[in-house]
Amino acid sequence: MAKKLDIAFEEAYKISSATSLKLPPDVMLQLYAYYKQATKGSNYEQPSGDIELRNAFKLNAWFQLGQISEDKAKKEYINLVNKYLKDR
């Protein structure tokens, strides 16, 4: 049985994936980094895409979270979704 945190994280991911709301770039980077840390931990991989500068920003944002646990990253991701996307 999935933990409550995992269920809440999946719901937050569904909300963020389905939104058409244009978020500021810094919030998008935070969402990306927390999602990656929550799902991959510190097992870094090169972001997909062909824009090198954007990929560098994405990877750097993820690196900065390297010391937090996957559960903490899930909580922070949920907080961001609730702050910027929930009920919009």
Pairwise CA distance, residues 75 & 22, whole Å: 22
CB 9 within 8 A of CB 80: no
Q: Which residues of the chain have pLDDT under 50?
A: none
Which pLDDT does position 53 carry in this prediction?
85
Structural domains in the chain plus CATH codes: 4-84 (1.20.80.10)
This prediction's pTM? 0.87
Alpha helices in the chain (DSSP H): 4-18, 25-40, 52-63, 70-84
- Report pLDDT for 42: 83
Q: Cα(61)–Cα(55) distance, rounded to whole angstroms?
A: 10
